[in-house]
Structure 1
Amino acid sequence: GRAVWAIGHPTSWEVASIGLTAVTVLLVLGGRAIHFLVPGVLLAAAGGIVFSSLTGYAGAAVGDIPAGLPRLTLDLPWHRLPVLLLPGAVIALVGFAEAASIARVFASEDRQRWDANREFLGQGAANLAAAIAGGFPVGGSFTRSSVNRLSGGRSRWSGLVTGFSVLLFLPFAGVLAPLPTAVLAGIVIAAISTLFRPRELLRLWRLSRPQAFVGWGTFAFTLLLAPHIEQAVLLGVVMATAVHLWRQLRPGLVARREGDTLYLEPSGVLWFGSAPAMEDALFARLDDEPDVRRVVLKCSGLSRIDITGAYSLAEMLDHVHRAGLEMEIEGVPEHARRILEAVGVGTPKPPAS
């Protein structure tokens, strides 16, 4: 990614831009440390405009901003809808994933309830409005949401006031033309600095290596693929799905012996992916206990049993009976009893109340 290339080529660095970014970060964080009402972001932006205008700053700047209001219309290129279905679904997935992540973090910090359904409805309505106005896809982000929170926003009023402020400022948008983008970068860095928590990633490595693999992998992809964060999020989703499937392929099995009876307690999900592993574990345990005469399979630890898992249990029951052993299936979840009866397992005992 461009970020990795830039770090590896210090000769391409612009000292003035780096200095502006550093001063902006110090100004924003320093103002927040003094008092939360100190407008560090506003001071940094105003200072950047003054500096650029007085010194003739040659670095990248915001540039001209079109003034005026967009024209509302439903005259959209409907013939391109089939081509946009898949990209639109990806944008919706990534947009919601990023907004949901930041919303959950802030809701947890404020001890508020977060409703994913309302979040999704709000994003959908905002994107419909953006389409009619000819705008880009709309969604919350780590940077924009963090800037809003850094400025003291805690409710929906902050978004409403910001929107009206932007409308009122449109005739004067040209004032922002000389604002260096390095200042904007500093504002973003200061805003998201509180969200970067390396201790949590290190703690995750100690608690769960598979989950740490997902977290560190997504973090690495975000840096490597910048600024295409949507690709990093999609790869993170793929890694999380792969880890989930890997775990589901390995159901747990606890065994204990009482006399000539072997009690087996599987846990997890019994589906077409984990059924072979369950059969192998059961028969391997029977090979280790040649003098067992009775087998009791307690299924209360299984959260779900699909039709393939039910057929697998039926085959296990048949094989055990052919070996001359008794076998009972107990504690079957209510949702799976009908399926087991349909595949010929009989009437398994329900979980003990």
Structure 2
Amino acid sequence: MPDWLSSYQKNLLSGDLTAGLIVTVMLIPQSLAYAMLAGLPPEMGLYASILPIIAYALLGSSMTLATGPVAVISLMTASALAPLAQSGSAQYIELAIQMALISGVMLLAFGLLRLGFLAHLLSHPVISGFISGSAILISLGQLKHLLGIPASGNNIAATLLDLTRHLSQTNPATLVIGSSSLLFLWWSRRSLSTLLEKAGMSSRLAGMLSKLAPMISVIGFTFMVYFFSLDTRFGVSVAGHVPQGLPSLGLSLPGFDAIAALWLPALLISLVGFVESVSVAQSLALKRKERILPNRELIGLGAANLASAISGGYPVTGGFARSVVNFSAGANTPLAGIISALLMAIVIAFFTPLFYYLPQAVLAATIISAVTALIDWRSLKNTWQYDRADAFSLLTTMLGVVLLGVEAGILLGIALSLAVLVWRSSHPHMAVLGRVPDTEHYRNIERHAVQTVPGLVALRVDESLFFANAAVVEQKIMALANTDTDVKNMLLVCSAVNQIDATALEMLDQLEKSLAARNIQLYFAEVKGPIMDRLKNTPLGKRMKNKIFLSVHTAFQHLRKDREPN
């Protein structure tokens, strides 16, 4: 039994009940819309909103994270399955369920192996670029439903071209419904909360009610289509028959061919879903001084995806918008999620016939309204001003997702981030040091007014020494020795060096010998303990036994010549 359940108190129930109800009202239109985005029947979005929520509630570590279908994972699912089967076909549905299963197994394995640190493998610029690119891709892909015209293509350029060709076939009624719904949702997000507050409502309640605008839109336009028979009279596309009744439980095991086709997209879905969930969970936990356990999150999300596969759903993760609403509505424990799941089960068991006249244009408007809020232009602007390399990673990932597809885009972003990391490490910042007058502090001679010792050059390398930068460091030291013919002592300051690999060790060994042949002695200062432990048993370490100083100041004092410093 989870800790929150074994120590549950009655005074927490009212907040959990309220949050569970509000999240359910918000989850119904999102589940239907995101299933459509994934190319799946709408009921699969509802199925993925029952057992997965309960599984996470029992095994996850966040008190307020709301799991279920989300836009980005739905897009990744559609992107992965589109080349393998016809959208909505029996094979397509089976592959979606199997991908949830593979993703669940991966996440559980990562959790049991305590690989929670995987959350740090994707940098913020890559995640921001990926989400922004996905949001753009999703929005463009929903235009055909908003206009009521057919459009297809293997990539976004082909889809837009096909969309342009069929623009003359735009269904006016569908366009009016879709654009009206979209405008209402945008207005609600910007102004409804303020309007309710002016009417005397508390800011908290007004904020929560404004989040329910998608449900208001769904109810209003569904009634309109039904009352005026817009589907038969004007050809407005509707959701149609949504099967009534709880999902049957079962497990479809993938074959070798399916595993070979699905393991990479399942891995990316697992990583992206985990990073997104942990980010949301941590931001909410900090507000209540709670703690998120990444390894428990892996297990919780893994169990949620397994539960989704067993109940006929598709890959799920923690959703940002729903989690924020869950938190704001007063959720105290994961019981709010279990209440939401039970309410969803009631909806599926008895009320799915009400969704028959739900216009697809309204679902498209719901998706567009939700994802456009995820486009993070501010991060791009701020990152560009601070670090052009990170900004380039963000922009490349975003454009890669839009132009090349989801998998290619995120892999490109990861590869570029690693390339930037290696490039930076291979070009470390290095500074020649001097003493700040009347202190024991030593700073860069190019930035500060400092004193130096004739015949002594002290070089600080602000990076670990390894194969990618060993030659650069060697070249710098030799250039300093060649520039000043009076140099007799070369001091390598290792305060920022956390590791020296075999290539760098070989470089230092040869460097010490080369300098000694020119009557220049090599010294080290501020070498960290773990490095000293490995260095002392090497030939270089034995030769440097009495030439390693505890501090730069000690080295300067020891190597000072008789005359005063310049």
- TM-score bracket for this pair, using the shorter chain length: 0.7 to 0.9
Higher RCO (CA 8 Å, separation ≥ 6 residues): 2
Corresponding residue number in structure 2 for 1:31: 192
1:54-133 aligned within 5 A: 54-55=227-228, 56-57=230-231, 58-74=235-251, 76-77=253-254, 83=260, 84-104=262-282, 106=284, 113-133=291-311
Corresponding residue number in structure 1 for 2:324: 149
Match of 1:266 among 435, 439, 461: 461
- 8 Å CA contact 1:29–1:190 kept in 2: the answer is no
User: Is the counterpart of residue 349 in structure 1 residue 560 in structure 2?
Assistant: no
- Give the C-alpha shift of residue 87 in structure 1: 4.3
Corresponding residue number in structure 1 for 2:218: 45
Corresponding residue number in structure 2 for 1:323: 518
- 8 Å CA contact 2:179–2:365 kept in 1: the answer is no
- Give the C-alpha shift of residue 268 in structure 1: 1.3
- 8 Å CA contact 1:311–1:343 kept in 2: the answer is no
C-alpha separation between the residues in 2 aligned to 1:105 and 1:220?
27
What 5-or-longer segments of structure 1 have no aligned partner? none
- 8 Å CA contact 1:45–1:179 kept in 2: the answer is yes
C-alpha separation between the residues in 1 aligned to 2:256 and 2:376?
46
C-alpha separation between the residues in 2 aligned to 1:195 and 1:87?
22
C-alpha separation between the residues in 1 aligned to 2:459 and 2:514?
16
1:119-198 aligned within 5 A: 119-140=297-318, 144-150=319-325, 152=328, 155=331, 156-171=334-349, 172-192=351-371, 195-198=374-377
Q: TM-score, normalised by structure 1?
A: 0.84
Match of 1:336 among 513, 516, 531: 531
What 5-or-longer segments of structure 2 have no aligned partner? 1-136, 142-155, 197-205, 434-451, 553-566
Identity within the alignment, %: 25
Cα RMSD between the aligned structures? Answer: 3.1
Corresponding residue number in structure 2 for 1:247: 424
Describe the shift of the 1:90–1:160 C-alpha distance in structure 2 as closer, same or farther (beyond 3 A). Answer: same
Secondary structure at 1:178 match in 2: coil
- 8 Å CA contact 1:262–1:296 kept in 2: the answer is yes
- 8 Å CA contact 2:241–2:356 kept in 1: the answer is yes
Describe the shift of the 1:81–1:182 C-alpha distance in structure 2 as closer, same or farther (beyond 3 A). Answer: closer
- Give the C-alpha shift of residue 100 in structure 1: 3.6
Describe the shift of the 1:185–1:99 C-alpha distance in structure 2 as closer, same or farther (beyond 3 A). Answer: farther
Describe the shift of the 1:181–1:26 C-alpha distance in structure 2 as closer, same or farther (beyond 3 A). Answer: farther
Aligned partner of 1:19: which letter? S
Of the structure 1 ranges 333-342 and 266-275, higher mean CA displacement relative to structure 2 is found in 333-342
C-alpha separation between the residues in 1 aligned to 2:406 and 2:277?
13
- 8 Å CA contact 1:300–1:351 kept in 2: the answer is no
- Give the C-alpha shift of residue 82 in structure 1: 5.5
Aligned partner of 2:424: which letter? R
Aligned partner of 2:394: which letter? G
- 8 Å CA contact 1:104–1:114 kept in 2: the answer is yes
C-alpha separation between the residues in 1 aligned to 2:428 and 2:315?
42
Give runs of ≥4 in structure 1 deviating > 6 Å: 108-111
Q: TM-score, normalised by structure 2?
A: 0.55
- Give the C-alpha shift of residue 44 in structure 1: 1.4
Residue by residue over 1:287-342, the C-alpha shift from the partner in whole angstroms, topping out at 9 and shown as x without a partner, is: 22222011111111113222222222222212211222111112122222233234
Secondary structure at 2:244 match in 1: coil
Residue by residue over 1:102-143, the C-alpha shift from the partner in whole angstroms, topping out at 9 and shown as x without a partner, is: 445555677765443232221111122223334322223xxx
Describe the shift of the 1:178–1:303 C-alpha distance in structure 2 as closer, same or farther (beyond 3 A). Answer: farther
- 8 Å CA contact 1:297–1:330 kept in 2: the answer is yes
User: Is the counterpart of residue 313 in structure 1 residue 474 in structure 2?
Assistant: no
Secondary structure at 2:487 match in 1: coil
Secondary structure at 1:258 match in 2: coil
- 8 Å CA contact 2:182–2:369 kept in 1: the answer is no
- 8 Å CA contact 2:181–2:217 kept in 1: the answer is no
Describe the shift of the 1:110–1:189 C-alpha distance in structure 2 as closer, same or farther (beyond 3 A). Answer: farther
- 8 Å CA contact 2:242–2:352 kept in 1: the answer is yes
